[in-house]
């Protein structure tokens, strides 16, 4: 079949069907039927080179004359923005590299036992060639642990790694997905292990801990989601991490962080503590917004320190939430700078000391303003948490 519209689209011409018929007949190619602007042509047996419509179009162009085909500039420059998700991943990648992380790329396939460690049902593959590639990965953590073990075997124990990639699992929820009963998620995984700084005689050796990772996760979320994140301790079926802490953005689950379980480290042959965090790309990218700038403050900031004695079971986060709810717009920041347990405190008690940064955007604060703000905060903390004011 030879379509007139297709001929004109390819050659950039305005030939009529009659003209196309005349061109092909000159090559002993006979149109046996003609319907609308579609010709059915009989190809001579000796023209074995004519198999497709595009071959006939080439013959029409040759007979019509290449010099008769008008030159047209059809090239265009696309000024559109790159895909949003790809651009977001690049932004995250650049940010983490700026934090001092190295990107890793690991295999998507794992053994079934490793895939089950994350507490979800893995997607198993048919026609297995090896038991080590029997399932799709359900977490990015095992791949990075393999990199840690390999680095350790070469004498490199201090690592800062990240990976951005997809994980897969069977899912019976009602969430929309590409394939029924299967869920595909893109995640960001961060991993810290070893010493904070290279060993040197002038400083004591300090190892990474969970607070190093928490700080960097906070900085990452702060860059893309402003101050909409929180960290909550919670029980989990994820066997990869002990004492997991949930990461929430805008009140919705966005991932977790914690130290890798000892039995998992043993299976990978790792002898040092490893801290990991996995964050859902969708949760982080959905709240990304453009940067907004405000002028530098014209009036001074005032800091007031308050310390409360609370039960051991009371978290600093809960006290901080009370402080925020009780404060006015004068409160700019809260800093937990000391946690004390020991002498002068009863058993089962601890002291939490907070620094409160107060500032007004339109005037200099007076002593009365400051005292009134601090008093209302202290009274609310005592009322809601049963705390005792230790110092102010």
Q: Select from 285, 310, 325 the last residue of a domain.
A: 285
CB distance 353 to 338 below 8 Å: yes
- Residue 73: inside a domain, yes or no? no
Is 297 part of a structural domain of the chain? no
Say yes or no: 128 and 207 in one domain. yes
**What's residue 177's pLDDT?**
47
Confirm whether 100 is domain-assigned: yes
> Structural domain tally of the chain?
3
Average pLDDT value over all residues in the chain: 85
| DSSP alpha helix (H) spans, 244-308 | 262-268, 281-285
Same domain, 323 and 371: yes
Q: Are residues 175 and 272 in the same domain?
A: yes
Residues 160 and 270 reside in one and the same domain: yes
CATH number of the structural domain spanning residue 367? 3.30.70.380
Backbone phi and psi for residue 260, each to the nearest 5 degrees, phi listed first: -65, 135
Model pLDDT, residue 103: 95
DSSP secondary structure, 54-99, as one string: HHHHHHHHHHH-GGGSPP--------PPPPHHHHHHHHHHHHHHHT
292 within domain boundaries = no
Q: Which of 34, 68, 102 is the last residue of a domain?
A: 68
Q: What is the CATH number of the domain that holds 17?
A: 3.30.56.10
Q: Which domain holds residue 191?
A: 84-285
In this predicted model, what pLDDT tens digit does every residue of 344-388 receive, in sequence order?
888 889 999 999 999 998 899 999 999 999 999 999 999 998 888
Q: Is 374 exposed, middle or buried (0-12, 13-18, 19+ CB in 10 A)?
A: buried
Last residue of a domain, one of 238, 254, 285: 285
Whether residue 241 contacts residue 118, with contact meaning beta carbons closer than 8 Å, is answered with no
Instruction: Please list the ranges in the chain whose pLDDT falls under 70.
Output: 73-84, 129, 172-180, 225-229, 233-237, 288-291, 391-392
Question: Domain with 210 in it: what CATH number?
Answer: 3.30.930.10
Same domain, 116 and 41: no
Strand partners, 246: 232, 256
Which ranges of the chain would DSSP assign to H, the alpha helix?
A: 4-11, 17-25, 53-64, 84-98, 112-116, 141-153, 210-225, 262-268, 281-285, 316-326, 367-385
Q: Shortest CA distance to 346 belongs to which of 309, 300, 296?
A: 309
Same domain, 93 and 233: yes
DSSP, residue by residue, 121-141: ---BPSS-S-GGGSEE-S-SH
- Same structural domain for residues 96 and 179? yes
Q: Which residue has the tokens 């965090």?
A: 277
Q: Is 349 exposed, middle or buried (0-12, 13-18, 19+ CB in 10 A)?
A: middle
| pLDDT tens-digit map of 83-132 | 667 788 888 999 999 999 999 999 888 888 777 777 777 788 877 767 77
Distance separating alpha carbons of residues 158 and 61, to the nearest angstrom: 66
Find how far residue 69's CA is from the centre of its chain: 51
354 close to 306: Cβ distance less than 8 angstroms: yes
| β-bridge pairing 135-136 and 109-110 | antiparallel
Residues 309 and 280 in one domain: no
In a domain, 142, yes or no: yes
Angle at 95 between CA 94 and CA 99, to 5 degrees: 115
Same structural domain for residues 175 and 218? yes
**pTM (2 d.p.):** 0.66
Q: Per the domain annotation, does 78 fall within a domain? A: no
Under DSSP, is residue 280 helix (H, G, I), strand (E, B) or coil?
Answer: strand
Instruction: Note whether 374 and 354 are within 8 A (CB).
Output: no
52 and 191 fall within a common domain = no
Residue 293 resides in a domain: no
Please report the pLDDT score of residue 346 as a whole number. 85
**Residue 150 forms part of a structural domain:** yes
Residue 183 to residue 203: CA distance in whole angstroms = 48
Which residue from 15, 10, 11, 1 is spatially nearest to 52, judged by alpha carbons?
A: 1
Same-domain status, 274 and 228: yes
| Same domain assignment for residues 21 and 103 | no
Local structure of residue 366 (DSSP, 8 states)? P
């Amino acid at each position: 079949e030879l379509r007139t519209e297709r001929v004109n689209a390819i050659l950039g011409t305005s030939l009529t069907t009659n003209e196309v018929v005349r061109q092909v007949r000159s090559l002993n190619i006979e149109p046996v039927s003609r319907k609308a602007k579609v010709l059915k042509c009989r190809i001579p047996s000796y023209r074995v080179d004519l198999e497709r419509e595009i071959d006939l179009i080439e013959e029409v162009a040759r007979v019509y004359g290449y010099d008769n085909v008008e030159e047209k500039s059809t090239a265009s420059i696309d000024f559109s923005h790159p895909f949003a998700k790809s651009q977001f991943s690049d932004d995250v990648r650049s940010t983490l590299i700026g934090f001092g992380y190295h990107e890793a790329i690991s295999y998507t396939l794992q053994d079934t036992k490793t895939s089950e460690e994350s507490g979800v049902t893995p997607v198993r593959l048919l026609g297995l060639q090896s038991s080590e590639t029997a399932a799709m990965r359900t977490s990015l953590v095992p791949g990075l642990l393999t990199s840690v073990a390999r680095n350790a075997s070469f004498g490199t124990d201090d690592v800062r790694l990240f990976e951005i990639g997809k994980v897969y699992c069977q899912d019976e929820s009602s969430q929309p997905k590409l394939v029924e009963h299967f869920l595909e998620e893109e995640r960001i995984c961060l991993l810290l292990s070893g010493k904070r700084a290279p060993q040197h005689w002038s400083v004591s050796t300090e190892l990474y801990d969970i607070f190093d990772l928490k700080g960097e996760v906070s900085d990452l979320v702060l860059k893309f989601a402003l101050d909409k994140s929180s960290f909550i301790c919670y029980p989990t079926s994820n066997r990869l991490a002990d004492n997991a802490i949930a990461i929430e953005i805008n009140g919705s689950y966005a991932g977790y962080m914690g130290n890798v379980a000892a039995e998992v480290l043993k299976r990978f042959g790792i002898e040092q503590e490893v801290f990991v965090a996995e964050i859902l790309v969708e949760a982080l990218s959905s709240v990304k917004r453009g940067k907004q700038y405000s002028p530098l403050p014209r009036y001074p900031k005032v800091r007031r320190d308050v310390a409360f004695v609370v039960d051991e079971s009371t978290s600093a986060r809960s006290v901080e939430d009370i402080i925020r709810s009780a404060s006015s717009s004068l409160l700019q920041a809260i800093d937990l700078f000391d946690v004390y347990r020991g002498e002068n405190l009863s058993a089962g008690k601890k002291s939490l000391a907070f620094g409160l940064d107060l500032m007004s955007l339109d005037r200099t604060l007076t002593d009365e303003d400051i005292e009134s703000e601090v008093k209302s905060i202290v009274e609310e903390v005592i009322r809601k948490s049963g705390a005792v004011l230790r110092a102010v």
